[in-house]
Amino acid sequence: MIRSLHVADQVSGTGVVAGDAVLVEGGRIVAVGEASRLRSPGIEEHQYPGATILPGLVDAHLHPVGYAASLARPILKGAGDFDDLADILAEAARSQARGSAVVALRLDDESLLEGRLPDRSFLDRVVPDRPVLAVRYCGHIAVANSRALELAGIGVGTLDPPGGSIDRDDEGMPTGVLRETAVDPVSAALQDLAPEVTPDDLSTASRALAAVGLTRVGAVIDLEAGCFAGAGSEFDLLLAAAPGISIGMEVFVVAETPEGLHESADRLADAGGGLRFAGLKMYSDGSIGGHTAAMHQGFSDHPGERGTDRLDPRWAADMAGTALAMGSRVAVHAIGDRANENVLDLMESLIRSGADPSLLRVEHASVLAEADITRFGSLGITASVQPAFIASETGWLEKRLGRDRLTRTYPFRSLAEAGAPLAGGSDSPVEPPHPLWGMATARDRCGLVPEESLDGAAALAMFTSGAAAAIGRTGVLEPGAEANLTIVSVDPVEATPGDLRQAEVVATWVGGHPVEIPKEITTWKG
C-alpha cells in the first residue's frame, strides 16, 4: 500500500477547519488534519508551500470529444469580422489534405463587426474546392457551404427536420445556416472527410483538463458524430481512448433508443480505466445566443421568434423511464423558460411515479419563471449550471431577453435559497473548462444581476460536492473518500474573484496518483 502525506498551508472546502495535510493510502483518504500529527516514518511526503488542498474539482457537464476537437481544429472565436473569418478558414484549407472537409469551431456572430452569421456563398468564395462547416460556439447552430449541403442532401426541397430548421432565402434556397437537428445530416456526411479526432487527442485533452484542476467530469457523449467534432462516433472514440484517459469520466449518453442506451452501458462496463456509465442526456431546446432557446415570449431583439422545442414528451418519458430502471441518471438540456417548465413537468411526473429526485438533472436551467425556481427546490431536482456562460454573454444578454427576464436568468442564489442542489460545469468547448474561472464568475457575475451571486464557499461547493453529487460521486475530503485532490495557489473561499482568475493549479491527484501534465500542454484556444 502506498502511503503519502500531502502538506500545504491549509485544507479547504471540507466545511470545517481541517488543518494543513491529507494522508492517503491505497488511493483513499485516511485522515485530514495537522501534518505534525499525521507524519510517521516511511510515509512519502509531498509539500505544497503557500497552496491550498481542495477536494478534487469536478465539472458536471463537459463534452470531452468536443473539447479535444477544439484544441486541434481551427477556432473562429477571435475573429473580428468576415475578413478575419476568411483568413482563418483559408489557412485551415491550405494546411489540410486536398479534398478533406474544413470543420471550424466557436463561430461567434455577436463578436463580428457585421453582427450576423456568414452564409454558404461567403464560405463558397473563401474555400471553393471542399466542404466547410463552421459551428457556432454554442454548438446549436452551424453554417455549411454548398458542397457540404450537397453531400448531406440538403436542397431547395428539403423539409425542416423535427427539432431543427434550415434558414432559406427569398427563393426558398438554403442559406447554409442550420439550426439544432438540421446540423446533424451535415455532421454525418462529413465524418469521413473531416480531419480525424484521435484517441491520442482525447487522451491529451484529459491531461489538459487535469491541468486546470479537474479530477472528474460528467462527460456528455453522442453515440453518433457530435457537431463539435464532425468526425465519427464520439462514443467509439471515447472507448478507444479509455486506456489513456487521466481523469474520471461519468458518461451521459445521447441515445435515441432504449437499446442504444443499454448497449452503451454494457460497453462502458467493459471499457476499464476511469469511465463509468452515468445515464441519459436529452435536449429540450437550443441556445439563447442562437435564438433557439424555447421561450414563453419572443426574444426582445427578435419578437417573432420563441425558440425551438426539441423534446417529444412521449419519447422522452420512455427514454427517461429506461434510464431510471437501469439505476442511472436523467439529464435534460433546458435553456429557455418554456423549456424549463416542460422539463420540470416531465420530471415531476417521473417523481410521482417513484423516481428518486437525486437522479434527475436539468442542464443549464438558464432562464426560469419564478414559480419554477421554487419548483426546483421543492422537487429536489439538480440544476446543473454553467457560470461561464455569463462571461460570454454579458455584452448581449439583456438585448436578447430584456430587463425583466434578465433578473431571472442564471439565478444561482435564488435556486440555492429555494433548496435546489447546484452542480457547476462549463459545457466545454462552449466555454473554457477552467473551474476556478467558473467559481469567480459565480461570485461576481461580471457585474450582471449581482444579487444572484454566490459567496466563496457556495461557489467552491458547486465544483466539488455539488458537481460530484450530480454524477453519483462524493466531493469531500474525509476518511474513506477517493483520494482526488486539487492543489491550488489560493484559497478559493477567501480569494477575490480576480485572484481566482489568476490562480494556478499546482498539482492534480486522481485516485492517489499525480496526473503527469506536460509543461507545454494547451488547455484552451479562443
Q: Which fold has domain 74-190?
A: Diaminopimelate Epimerase; Chain A, domain 1 (3.10.310)
Give the Cα separation of 428 and 466 in Å (integer): 18
Q: How many CA atoms lie within 13 A of 369 on its CB side?
A: 15
The residue type found at 380 is G
How much of the chain is helix, strand and coil, in % rounded to 5?
35, 25, 40
Cβ neighbours, 10 Å, residue 161: 17
Grid cell, residue 53, equals 488542498
Q: CB-based contacts of 308: which residues, under 8 Å, 6+ apart? A: 163, 164, 165, 179, 180, 285, 286, 292, 294
- In this structure, the dihedral spanned by the alpha carbons of residues 432, 411, 403 and 436, taken in order and rounded to 10 degrees, is -30
Start-to-end CA distance of the chain, whole Å, equals: 43
Instruction: Look up residue 127 and give its amino acid.
Output: V
Strands (E), 83-173: 102-107, 132-136, 141-144, 164-168
Give me the tens of pLDDT residue by residue for the chain, a chain 526 residues long.
578 999 999 999 766 557 999 999 999 999 999 999 999 998 999 999 999 999 999 999 999 999 999 999 999 998 999 999 999 999 999 999 999 999 999 999 999 999 999 999 999 999 999 999 999 999 999 999 999 999 999 999 999 999 999 999 999 999 999 999 999 999 989 988 998 899 999 999 999 999 999 999 999 999 987 766 556 789 999 999 999 999 999 999 999 999 999 999 999 999 988 999 999 999 999 999 999 999 999 999 999 999 999 999 999 999 999 999 999 999 999 999 999 999 999 999 999 999 999 999 999 999 999 999 999 999 999 999 999 999 999 999 999 999 999 999 999 999 999 999 999 999 999 999 999 999 999 999 999 999 999 999 999 999 999 999 999 999 999 999 999 999 999 999 999 999 999 999 999 999 999 999 998 999 998 7
Which residue spans of the chain are classified as CATH 3.20.20.140? 58-63+196-474
Residue 232 is predicted with a pLDDT of 73
The per-residue pLDDT for 420 is 98
Distance of alpha carbon 77 from alpha carbon 17, whole angstroms: 42
What is the H or E stretch that residue 46 is in?
strand 44-55
Check the CA dihedral 402-407-408-410 and report its sign. Answer: positive
Report yes or no: 246 and 217 within 8 Å, Cβ to Cβ. no
CA-to-CA dists, residue 59 to 10, 220, 298, 518, angstroms: 23, 11, 32, 21
| DSSP-derived 3-state class of residue 148 | helix
Contact assessment for residue 367 and residue 397, using Cβ atoms and an 8 Å cutoff: no
DSSP state of 194: S
* Whether the Cβ atoms of residue 362 and residue 340 lie closer than 8 Å to each other: yes
Query: Which of 330-367 are b and which e, b meaning 16 or more Cβ less than 10 Å from the residue's Cβ?
Result: bbbbbbbbbbbbbbbebbbebbeeebebebbbbbbbbb
Please answer whether residues 172 and 463 qualify as being in contact, where contact means their C-beta atoms are separated by less than 8 angstroms.
no
CA 383 to chain centre: 13
253 bridge partner residues: 221, 280
CATH 3.10.310.70 in the chain, residue ranges: 74-190
Q: Which residues of 170-202 are buried (b: 16+ CB within 10 A; e: fewer)?
A: eeeebbbbbbbbbbbbbbbbbbebbbebebebb
* 141-144 and 132-136 strand pairing: antiparallel
> Can you tell me the distance from the alpha carbon of 157 to that of 174, in angstroms, rounded to the nearest whole number?
9
Pairing of the two strands 382-385 and 360-364: parallel
Structure confidence at residue 13 (pLDDT): 78
- Phi/psi at 69 (nearest 5 deg)? -65, -40
Q: CB–CB of 416/376 below 8 Å? A: no
Give me the half-sphere count of Cα atoms (radius 13 Å) on the Cβ side of residue 498. 1
The CATH homologous superfamily to which domain 58-63+196-474 belongs is: Metal-dependent hydrolases (3.20.20.140)
Contact 286, 292 (CB under 8 A): yes
Residue 212's identity, in one-letter code, is: V
Give me the pLDDT at residue 526, please.
76
